[in-house]
Each structure stands twice: as C-alpha cells, then as structure tokens.
Amino acid sequence: MEEFEVKFLNINQQEIEEKLKKIGAKKVGEFFQKWIALDYPDWRLDKNGAWIRLRDEGNGKITLSFKKRLGMKSHDGTVNDDGMEEIEAHVDSFDKVALIFEKIGFIEKHYAEKKRIRWEKDGIEFDIDIYPELEPYLEIESSSWENIDKGIKLLGLNPDDKKIFTGTQVYAMKGIDVKKLKRITFDKGLIEK
C-alpha cells in the first residue's frame, strides 16, 4: 500500500502552529516516540531501500511496519523519491516483538527517538517532528496526493519545497550517515556503532 506523505524541512515551528490554528486544524497531542529499524544481517532489505520498523507511537499504540522507498533516486536527500510503500500492523508488546525478530535472526540497524506534535484537519495529518540534531520539520500525510496538495495549499507552503524521502535522508543532508549510528537519542545524542 502506498503511503502519501511529504516533508517540509527547517520549519519555524511557532509559525506553522499558528497557521494550523488559523485554518482550524485540531491539535491531537504531543508524543515521544521510539523505534528500532530491523534488517537481515546482510542488510538485504536496506540494499533495496526497505526496512522493518517497530515503533512505540507514544500514545498507547505500538506498530510494526514494512517500509520501502519507491523510485529511489538518491541517498543524500538531493532528489525526491517517487513515494513510499508501507504495510503496518498494530502489535501489543514492543519488547516481545523485538525479541521475536532477534530470535529469527534479524539485527537492529539502529534505535531512534523523536518528538511529534500532531494536528489534523479534514483527514490530513500535520506532524511537526523534532529529532536529535535536526531542525524541526513538517510531515503532511493523508490518503491521497490530492489531499497532500490541499494540505500544502491550506498552509500556504510552496509545493516546490516538498520532500518525498525518509528521515535518514534528512540526516544525510546534514552530513550524518545513519548507517554508522547505533542510537539516535535526545539524552545521549548520536551514538556510533
């Protein structure tokens, strides 16, 4: 299933939140999220632009996802992908699911944390994401590209500034290779393998 999502980098968080209030978006909440990215020991998923993500959403939900970049054009964030495939399921235990993947031979590529402030309007999610060592950015996600365009227009953003790629590519734009990191945390920063 295709995921419809774009990013706007280096936002002014206060300005975006004021715009969201002005258009009548509802603030859903502020969440601390943590996840692990998983792959086979030979990184065969990564070689195809894919990974498994186990995430504690910070709102009582735990999700397990298969994610795959569609139409990969760059690893450094200079060129947008065509989109993202995502298959997601809810699970009931972060630790038990992580242990199952370990027992069947998967490895943890890295552990990461972020703070997310979610707003919603008319079926469009507006997420302000704050990662360690990055400027806040805005993700707009919905059920279609038409809704994404509507969200961009509602906020008065320049559609040419949208990015269609992963958080890993946002780090790459700052010269940080996530593949060399074991942990991405707020309290200890970026920890290399």
Ordered by where they begin, the domains of the chain are: 2-192 (2.40.320.10)
User: And the tokens for 92?
Assistant: 């009931």
What DSSP string runs through the chain?
-EEEEEEE-S--HHHHHHHHHHTTPEEEEEEEEEEEEEE-TT-HHHHTTEEEEEEE-SSS-EEEEEEEEES---SSSSS--SEEEEEEEEES-HHHHHHHHHHTT-EEEEEEEEEEEEEEETTEEEEEEE-TTS--EEEEEESSHHHHHHHHHHTT--GGG-B-S-HHHHHHHTT--GGGEEEEETTTEEEE-
For residue range 183-193, list pLDDT tens digits in order. 999 999 999 99
Confidence of residue 75 (pLDDT cuts 50, 70, 90): confident
Q: Distance between CA atoms of 189 and 192, rounded to whole angstroms?
A: 10
Question: Amino acid letter at 190?
Answer: L
For residue range 108-140, list pLDDT tens digits in order. 999 999 999 999 999 999 999 999 999 999 999
Q: Distance between CA atoms of 184 and 3, rounded to whole angstroms?
A: 24
Beta bridge partners of 124: 121
Q: What is the mean pLDDT of residues 16-22?
A: 98
Tell whether the model's pLDDT for residue 1 goes beyond 80: no
Instruction: List the Cα angle 43/45/48 in 5-degree steps.
Output: 115
Confidence of residue 77 (pLDDT cuts 50, 70, 90): confident
Q: Distance between CA atoms of 70 and 165, rounded to whole angstroms?
A: 9
pLDDT at 123: 97
Tell whether the model's pLDDT for residue 32 goes beyond 90: yes
